Every structure is written in structure tokens, then in C-alpha cells.
């Protein structure tokens, strides 16, 4: 995982998009011909053509039907918690969405302006937090601990009408304070934001209380928001609240939090009848249209409600078309009706969860079952909908080319995707998403088809997909500048093919229909990977995009591999052969060949079949990657182990290369890369290479730990070593759930096939599964979070949290579903 750290327009119709592509293609050809006719450099023309292709969408038909995100085609998916970077909010799946969200602040807890909570931040002191239940479609319940405050946010959607239905929220705030005199005063801020010409009309009652907000958009028709009076939790007893309002132009979503903070500059009195008064900082307090911006800038409307905990507040969205078609007769989804709906959805979730994953039947404890529910719910609750333009640096051909080009804007595109972490990585990552969808598709295959279809919609004319997707102003504001630009020469592991392979195993006709539409794009993506990352000899492969050998780096990183700082050849060169990449390409050829056969794509099958057979032939794998000296599979390149970081004032730590000097050889870096022929099940159960890999896996001096398989052998000189003065170890010993899941799947696979290693594989699977599940469960009990990685020394969670991305694979590990 590469972890470091405008103008918008609507998505054109498919016919218009095809016209645009055809016109752009004709223009590109015309420019090349004209440049040659004028005697301009053919090299310049080729460079221009490559740059144009890098930011041109692929011409294959889309994998998803036209308008697949619209309320007409997918009404139950139109609204959702598609803003994973905020603690609680909802939006529509639209290029110009209607957004809603929640902020809160504890008044008087600290001197000055109270801490305003809104976006999930790694170091803001909030936590644990996460979804207890979330079904990915229509209901969720989340708990958030903020110091002594305990917030519960719940939502339920109700179908009806032609505009995506209706929904209701309930926000409950309690305190862990022991005395009633210490009960805090809390402000909740409910807001609605539009992104263009939409109309919002608030109507205010007594004391600044917002009766409702009516509005109209082309996608939602007529609608109304209602903030109901607060009550005591669990009953209808009213509670006294103080109200403040702000109605303004949209300042831009990245600036929303700071804008509200800046407006909390006036003191007000909270005076419940028969009780003492308290001061609090509030918004301006009147319904005055402030700072009217340019036409089309959008509107922001915030209702602040302030009161003593404990309390509950409900916020209801009603659709005009749904009300007209019968929902009005059902009554407002609030109060007891909302409670009944939440209870019904909770019971249905629990029943469906056990039917799907059978954790209780497998003997998992109630706590482990709850962990599984949280793993699924946090992953589903982290799905986001993004829209915008990424920055792409074109592939200009040979590496090291002196020809310099500037990054260019990719066309505006939507993305419906899970995210690795709401606090640290709230955006789409290509190789993470394949692992995410392994979990999602067991629960809701339709969501997986939507996500894969959107990712394949990012394909450029060459068949490339950028490995990090930074789409929209909110996403861009949270990404360091050096990670904004995606390089069109760099690949990423093709993990989207993992859920595709699973689709081939079931008989769901909807999956086959999707794969039939998606095949041209899947084939184009795989073909680009196979061709662009080709190595120095036939059927070898090399990750493009390794860092250059800077004097401050112990071992130049290979970010495109996803394994970042995992040790590779000490001196990067074009002679390298990367074992993991060859295995990924072999998996891709196998899956695409099977899919082509199933779809009757004879021409593609004739191309892919021989490639798959060649890549899976063990003699070829041996020839390129088996090291007799090391007794395992390995990378090959210009390498020496005699490198280390040493202090050299005033530069700090610098790399020193000793003797022996680098030479072409197999790279001694025992770890996850070593295991890839096993992980992706490329070896025959009778292979003489299977035993040595199982032995290395099981050896506590190498990869085995009480908490899972470590990423780099404890015996490696790179184990636990930082890569630079400011770059601590990442894939150099820590336990990662995605690779442990692949290892468990492989052990389960070989444990069910006759062969000399069947018993050993079965035993290792049982022991490794117990270690991984036991440690993730203990860390969850201790911290309330799933973590990015786990220490191989004491099991503690490390990296960012919550990390509900591929760590959610613990659910499939518990279910033994590989």
C-alpha cells in the first residue's frame, strides 16, 4: 500500500461520452499527422500521443449500466453514509450531491473555543468509534467515545417514490460522569450542504428552533428535513434545548469545520425552566442569509442545538414523491416508529450474519462473533462515493528518459469504493479494494459489482488504473502533495481479480452478466499489466517505479508493489525480476483464461490459455526465481547485503555500502515475497518446493510468530530496520492481515488436497488461524479498534486506527471462508 501520506461538471451520458472519445481520438491523430507534415519531431509527436492516452478514458463499453448510480436505477443505494472521513454524515451518489452531516462540541470542557468534532482524525483523542451494525444498504448503528461522552448515531432508510426514498437519524448522547452535577453541556450541529443551484428554504419557529428545511433539486425533487425536539433517551419525555442557526453560502467542504469554528464567537445562555443557566458559545443565532457567494456556489444551513446530557435528537429526511406515493400514510419515521424499525433491522442483521458466516455454529465465542459483526459493519460503513479529477503523470516510455512533462488532469470520474481507514486513508486504494470486496461480496454481491464496475471505469486508453484515487476537494485536502500525482507507468497488484475469481465459483446469474460486461475492461487492464511490467527475460516481470538509490535510503522502496519498504535488490536496475509480480500476473492469466472460457470468448481464451500455462509451469518459475543457495524462491537483481545506515553529521543517517559489492544474484530477503507461489496457490500439491516453503513459514526464527506470520523473517538483517532517519519499518516484521489471509487460504487449500504435505498444511492452518484470530480479538478488547498491522513481538496494534479495510478479513478467517 502506498501509504505516505475545481471545477466540476456532471457525468455525461454514454452517447455523449462516446462522441467525446471519438472526437478526441480524431484530434490526437490529426495532431500527430500535422506535426509530421510540418517536419516536427516524431519523438515529440509520440510523446504528445502518450500524454494524451494517459488522460483519456478507455473506449470499451462500461461494466455498469448507464446511470447505474441514479435514483431511477438504484434507488436503495442513492443515499448512504458515503462520507467515510466524517464521524457521521450522508450524501447522494451524485457528482453534485446533497450532503448532510453532524458536528458536536462539549461546551466549557476546555478554555476558549470548544473542541469541534467533525472529521475523523488520527490524533484527535476520539475513540474508540465505529459501526456496531451496518448492512451496507439501509441501516446502521455507530458508537463514538469522546472523553466522558458516549455518542450513538443510528440511521434507517425507507423506500418509496422516484428519488431514492427517505431516511431518519437518531443521535443519542450520554455521559460517563458519576454525578449529575457534572453532566456536560453539549452542542450538536446538524447541517445540510448543496453544491450548486439547489434551493434550500428554512422555516424557523420560536427561540430559533428550525421547524424544517424544504428544498428541491433535479435529482431529489421536492424534499423536507425536520429536526425534532430533543427527548430523554429511550422515551418521549421532552428535554429543553437552546437553538442557534447559520445560513450561508457553501464555503467549500474542506473549509467547513474551520468556518463553523470561526463563527462560534458569541456567548449565549442555556436556561432550562427551573434550573440554573449555563453559558455556551453559539452560532450567530438568527436566520440571516450571510456571505452570499457567486451563483452556483451552493448553500450551507446549520442548526445548533445545545442541552445537558443525556438526550436523543432525531433528524428526518422526507421525499415529496415518497410521501405522495404512500409513505405519508405510514407516518413520520420518528419516535416509536423509528425505534421499531431499528429493532427490526438489528434482528434481521444478526440473523443474516449468522446464516452467512456461521460463526456461532463454528464455535466462536459471543465476543468473537461481535468482533466479526464489527469487522463487516465498519467495512460497509466505510464505503464512500467520490467524484472528481485526479492528477496523472504520463508514461513517456523508457525509464530515466530526460523528457519532462507536467502532470495532467484525468477526466472527471465517479468512484464507489471502500476505504482502508476513515481517519488516515479515507480514499480509494486499488490493491486494498480487492481484499475489501472479498468480504463485501459474501454479504452483498451487488455492492461488489458496483465497486468493481466503478474501479474499471477509471481505466485509461492504455488499460492503466491509478493505484490511489484522490477525487474531489475533500479527498485532495487530506493528501500530502507528493501523493496527489499518479504515475501512468506504475502498476499495483491486481487484487480486483480475487473477488472476480470468487464470482466464477458461484452460480449467481447477476455475477455472470456483470462479468460479461466487464470482461473487455478486465482483459485490457490485465494486458497492460502483463506488457508494461515485463522483465528483462521472457515471462519475468519487474515493478516499475522503484525509488532511486538515494544516499539516505537503506533500501529503495517499491511502492507500486504494495509492500512499500519490503527489501528488494539493494541497487535498483532493469535487470531485476520480481517474484511477487510474476505470481500476480500468473494469477491474472489463470482467472482471465477461466473467465474467457466461461463467457465463450474464444479469441481471448486462445491468447490467455498458453500464457497461463507457461506462467504456472513450475520449471519456468524455478528457472527464474528458485535460489539453490537460499533454498527458497526469491527476487533477482543487483544486490548486496552489505548495506547499512550510519550516522554522518550533519547529513544524519546515510547509507553505507560495504563488501562484498553488489552483483547480480538472488535477493536474500526471506518474508512475504518468498511465499507468493504458495500464497496464490500456484504450486502443485506434490511440488518439491512446497515443503521448504511450509518449513520456512512454520519456523519461529523466520516467519512464524504467536500473533501471525511476520512480513520479514526475524533472521533477516533488514528485520525491524528503519529505511531512513525519518522512515520507520513498515513491511519489515509486522503482521499484516491481508497476507495472513492469503496464507491461511493456501494452507486450507493444500490441506484438502492429497499430497505429501497435506497433514502439515492442515496443522499449520489450525494453529495460524488461532493465533491470528486470538490476537486481533485481544487487541480489539483492549483498544476497541481494528489496526493496520500488529507487532510480531507482543501482538499490539500498530499503524493507523481504525483500519477497517483488509483487517476486516479476520471475519473470513473466523468463518474459514477462503
Q: Would you list the DSSP string of 753-810?
A: S-STTHHHHHHHHHHHHHHHHHHHHHHHHHHS---SEE-TTT--EESSS---SGGGGH
The β-bridge partners of 61 are: none
Q: Mark 526-553 as b/e (b = at least 16 C-beta within 10 Å).
A: bbbbbebbebeeebbbbbbbbbebeeeb
What is the grid cell recorded at 67?
A: 446511470
What 8-state DSSP symbol labels residue 672? T
Domain boundaries, the chain: 79-362, 534-577+617-817
Whether the CB-CB separation of 394 and 54 falls below 8 Å is answered with yes
Is the overall model pTM greater than 0.85, yes or no?
A: yes
What 8-state DSSP symbol labels residue 629? T
Whether the CB-CB separation of 417 and 454 falls below 8 Å is answered with yes
Whether the CB-CB separation of 242 and 305 falls below 8 Å is answered with yes
Query: Both ends of the chain: CA-CA distance in Å?
Result: 22
Whole-angstrom distance, CA of residue 582 vs CA of residue 195: 46
In terms of C-beta density within 10 A (0-12 exposed, 13-18 middle, 19 or more buried), how is residue 27 classed? exposed
Whole-angstrom distance, CA of residue 302 vs CA of residue 307: 16
What is the grid cell recorded at 143?
A: 458508537
Cα–Cα distances in angstroms (integers) from residue 333 to residues 3, 166, 225, 430, in the given order? 42, 9, 12, 38
Whole-angstrom distance, CA of residue 223 vs CA of residue 321: 8
Whole-angstrom distance, CA of residue 258 vs CA of residue 251: 10
Neighbouring C-beta atoms of residue 278, cutoff 10 Å: 18
Helix (H) or strand (E) holding 242: strand 242-249
CATH architecture of 534-577+617-817: Alpha/alpha barrel (1.50)
Whether the CB-CB separation of 777 and 368 falls below 8 Å is answered with yes
The one catalytic residue among 368, 564, 616, 668: 564
Whole-angstrom distance, CA of residue 782 vs CA of residue 796: 9
Whether the CB-CB separation of 143 and 154 falls below 8 Å is answered with no
3-class SS letters over 679-742:
HCCCCCCCCCCHHHHHHHHHCCCCCCCECECECECCCCCCCCCCCECCECCCCCCCECHHHHHH
Closest-CA residue to 710 (of 759, 662, 654, 768):
768
Whole-angstrom distance, CA of residue 259 vs CA of residue 82: 22
Whole-angstrom distance, CA of residue 340 vs CA of residue 723: 55
Neighbouring C-beta atoms of residue 592, cutoff 10 Å: 29
Whether the CB-CB separation of 155 and 167 falls below 8 Å is answered with yes
The β-bridge partners of 314 are: 170
Whether the CB-CB separation of 146 and 163 falls below 8 Å is answered with no
Cα–Cα–Cα angle for 143, 144, 149, nearest 5°? Answer: 120
Residue with cell 475523523: 120
Helices and strands, counts by H and E, the chain: 21, 32
* Side-chain-facing half-sphere of 110: CA atoms under 13 Å: 8
Question: What pLDDT score was predicted for residue 10?
Answer: 32
Whole-angstrom distance, CA of residue 357 vs CA of residue 112: 50
Question: What's phi and psi for 292, nearest 5 deg?
Answer: -60, 120
Whole-angstrom distance, CA of residue 27 vs CA of residue 19: 12
The one catalytic residue among 432, 468, 788, 792: 788
Beta-sheet strands, E only, within 94-209? 99-107, 129-134, 139-146, 149-158, 166-175, 185-193, 199-204
Whether the CB-CB separation of 402 and 497 falls below 8 Å is answered with no
What is the grid cell recorded at 523?
A: 482483459
Cα–Cα distances in angstroms (integers) from residue 496 to residues 281, 429, 431, 432, in the given order? 49, 11, 7, 9
User: What's the farthest any 2 CA atoms get from each other in the chain?
Assistant: 90
Whole-angstrom distance, CA of residue 390 vs CA of residue 409: 6
Q: Estimate the share of the chain in helix, then strand, then coil, as percent rounded to the nearest 5.
A: 35, 25, 40
Helix (H) or strand (E) holding 341: helix 335-357
User: What is the mean pLDDT for each group of 10 consecutive residues in the chain (818 residues)?
Assistant: 37 35 44 53 79 96 94 96 98 95 91 91 95 98 97 98 97 82 89 86 81 92 96 91 92 94 94 93 71 67 96 98 94 97 98 98 97 98 97 81 80 98 97 98 98 98 97 90 93 98 94 98 98 98 94 96 98 98 98 98 98 97 98 98 93 93 97 98 98 98 98 97 96 98 98 98 98 98 98 98 98 98
Got the DSSP string for 587-610?
HHHHHHHHHHHHHT-HHHHHHHHH
For 638, the 3-state DSSP assignment is: strand
CATH of domain 79-362: 2.70.98.110
Closest-CA residue to 153 (of 166, 142, 145):
142
What 8-state DSSP symbol labels residue 274? T
* Side-chain-facing half-sphere of 576: CA atoms under 13 Å: 24
Whole-angstrom distance, CA of residue 194 vs CA of residue 296: 9
Whole-angstrom distance, CA of residue 491 vs CA of residue 3: 15
Whole-angstrom distance, CA of residue 424 vs CA of residue 75: 30
Closest-CA residue to 673 (of 569, 595, 538):
569
Whether the CB-CB separation of 786 and 378 falls below 8 Å is answered with yes
Question: What pLDDT score was predicted for residue 403?
Answer: 63
In terms of C-beta density within 10 A (0-12 exposed, 13-18 middle, 19 or more buried), how is residue 388 classed? buried
Closest-CA residue to 336 (of 156, 80, 133, 72):
156
564: annotated active-site residue:
yes
Whole-angstrom distance, CA of residue 104 vs CA of residue 121: 14
Question: What pLDDT score was predicted for residue 404?
Answer: 77
Give residues with Cβ within 8 angstroms of 69, minimum separation 6. Answer: 77, 78, 93, 94, 385, 414, 416
Amino acid at each position: 500500500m502506498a501509504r505516505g501520506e475545481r471545477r466540476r461538471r456532471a457525468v455525461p451520458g454514454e452517447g455523449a461520452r462516446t462522441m467525446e472519445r471519438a472526437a478526441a481520438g480524431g484530434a490526437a491523430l490529426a495532431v500527430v499527422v500535422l506535426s509530421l507534415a510540418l517536419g516536427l519531431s516524431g519523438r515529440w509527436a509520440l510523446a504528445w500521443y502518450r500524454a494524451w492516452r494517459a488522460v483519456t478514458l478507455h473506449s470499451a463499453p462500461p461494466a455498469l449500466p448507464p446511470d447505474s448510480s441514479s435514483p431511477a436505477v438504484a434507488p436503495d443505494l442513492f443515499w448512504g453514509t458515503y462520507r467515510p472521513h466524517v464521524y457521521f454524515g450522508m450524501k447522494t451518489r451524485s457528482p453534485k450531491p446533497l450532503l448532510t452531516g453532524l458536528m458536536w462540541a462539549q461546551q466549557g470542557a476546555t478554555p476558549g473555543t470548544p473542541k469541534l468534532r467533525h472529521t475523523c482524525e488520527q490524533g484527535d483523542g476520539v475513540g474508540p468509534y465505529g459501526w456496531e451494525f451496518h448492512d451496507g444498504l439501509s441501516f446502521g448503528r455507530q458508537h463514538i467515545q469522546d472523553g466522558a461522552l458516549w455518542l450513538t448515531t443510528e440511521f434507517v432508510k425507507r423506500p418509496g417514490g422516484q428519488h431514492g426514498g427517505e431516511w431518519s437519524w437518531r443521535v443519542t448522547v450520554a455521559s460517563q460522569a458519576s454525578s449529575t452535577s457534572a453532566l456536560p453541556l453539549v452542542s450538536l450541529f446538524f447541517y445540510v450542504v448543496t453544491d450548486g443551484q439547489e434551493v434550500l428554504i428554512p422555516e424557523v419557529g420560536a427561540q430559533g428552533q428550525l421547524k424544517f428545511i424544504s428544498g428541491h433539486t433535479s435529482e431529489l425533487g421536492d424534499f423536507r428535513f425536520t429536526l425534532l425536539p430533543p427527548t430523554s433517551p429511550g422515551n418521549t419525555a421532552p428535554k429543553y434545548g437552546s437553538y442557534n442557526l447559520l445560513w450561508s453560502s457553501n464555503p467549500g467542504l474542506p473549509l467547513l469545520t474551520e468556518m463553523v469554528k470561526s463563527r462560534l464567537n458569541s456567548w449565549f445562555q442555556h436556561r432550562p425552566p427551573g434550573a440554573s443557566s449555563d453559558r455556551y458559545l453559539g452560532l450567530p443565532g438568527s436566520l440571516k442569509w450571510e456571505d452570499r457567494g457567486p451563483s452556483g456556489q451552493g448553500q450551507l444551513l446549520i442548526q445548533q442545538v445545545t442541552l445537558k446530557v443525556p438526550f436523543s435528537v432525531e433528524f428526518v429526511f422526507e421525499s415529496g414523491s415518497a410521501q405522495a406515493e404512500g409513505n405519508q400514510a405510514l407516518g413520520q419515521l420518528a419516535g416509536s416508529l423509528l425505534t421499531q424499525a431499528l429493532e427490526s433491522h438489528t434482528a434481521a442483521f444478526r440473523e443474516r450474519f449468522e446464516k452467512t458466516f456461521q460463526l456461532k455454529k463454528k464455535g466462536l465465542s459471543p465476543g468473537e462473533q461481535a468482533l466479526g459483526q464489527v469487522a463487516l459493519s465498519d467495512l460497509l460503513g466505510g464505503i464512500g462515493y467520490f467524484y472528481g479529477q485526479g492528477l496523472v503523470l504520463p508514461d513517456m516510455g523508457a525509464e530515466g528518459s530526460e523528457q519532462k512533462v507536467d502532470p495532467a488532469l484525468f477526466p472527471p470520474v465517479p468512484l464507489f469504493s471502500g476505504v482502508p481507514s476513515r481517519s488516515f486513508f479515507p480514499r480509494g486504494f486499488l490493491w486494498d479494494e480487492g481484499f475489501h470486496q472479498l468480504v463485501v461480496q459474501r454479504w452483498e454481491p451487488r455492492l461488489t459489482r458496483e465497486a468493481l464496475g466503478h474501479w474499471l471505469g477509471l481505466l485509461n486508453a492504455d488499460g492503466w488504473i491509478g493505484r490511489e484515487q484522490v477525487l474531489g476537494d475533500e479527498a485532495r485536502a487530506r493528501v500530502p502533495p507528493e501523493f496527489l500525482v499518479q504515475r501512468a507507468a506504475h502498476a499495483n497488484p491486481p487484487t480486483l481479480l480475487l473477488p472476480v475469481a470468487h464470482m466464477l465459483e458461484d452460480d449467481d446469474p447477476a455475477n455472470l452478466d456483470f462479468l460479461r460486461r466487464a470482461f473487455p475492461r478486465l482483459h485490457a487492464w490485465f494486458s497492460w499489466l502483463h506488457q508494461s511490467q515485463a522483465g528483462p527475460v521472457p515471462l519475468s516481470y519487474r515493478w516499475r517505479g522503484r525509488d532511486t538509490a538515494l544516499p539516505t535510503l537503506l533500501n529503495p522502496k517499491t511502492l507500486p508493489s504494495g509492500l512499500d519498504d519490503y527489501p528488494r535488490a539493494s541497487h535498483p536496475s532493469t535487470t531485476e525480476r520480481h517474484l511477487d509480480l510474476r505470481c500476480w500476473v500468473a494469477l491474472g492469466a489463470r482467472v482471465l483464461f477461466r473467465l474467457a472460457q466461461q463467457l465463450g470468448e474464444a479469441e481471448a481464451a486462445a491468447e490467455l490459455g498458453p500464457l497461463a500455462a507457461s506462467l504456472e509451469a513450475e520449471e519456468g518459475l524455478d528457472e527464474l526465481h528458485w535460489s539453490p543457495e537460499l533454498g527458497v524462491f526469491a527476487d533477482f537483481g543487483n544486490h548486496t547485503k552489505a548495506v547499512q545506515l550510519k550516522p554522518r553529521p550533519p547529513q544524519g543517517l546515510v547509507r553505507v555500502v560495504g563488501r562484498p559489492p553488489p552483483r547480480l544474484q538472488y535477493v536474500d530477503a526471506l518474508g512475504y515475497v518468498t511465499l507468493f507461489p504458495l500464497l496464490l496457490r500456484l504450486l502443485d500439491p506434490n511440488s518439491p518446493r512446497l515443503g521448504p516453503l511450509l518449513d520456512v513459514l512454520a519456523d519461529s526464527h523466520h516467519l512464524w510468530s504467536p500473533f501471525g506470520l511476520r512480513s520479514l523473517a526475524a533472521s533477516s538483517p533488514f528485520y525491524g530496520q528503519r529505511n531512513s532517519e525519518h522512515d520507520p519499518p513498515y513491511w519489515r516484521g509486522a503482521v499484516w492481515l491481508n497476507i495472513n489471509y492469503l496464507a491461511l487460504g493456501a494452507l486450507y487449500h493444500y490441506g484438502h488436497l492429497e499430497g505429501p504435505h497435506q497433514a502439515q498444511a492442515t496443522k499449520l492452518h489450525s494453529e495460524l488461524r488461532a493465533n491470528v484470530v486470538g490476537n486481533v480479538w485481544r487487541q480489539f478488547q483492549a483498544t476497541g479498534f481494528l489496526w493496520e498491522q500488529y507487532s510480531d513481538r507482543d501482538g499490539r496494534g500498530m499503524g493507523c486506527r481504525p483500519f477497517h479495510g483488509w483487517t476486516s478479513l479476520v471475519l473470513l478467517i473466523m468463518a474459514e471462508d477462503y
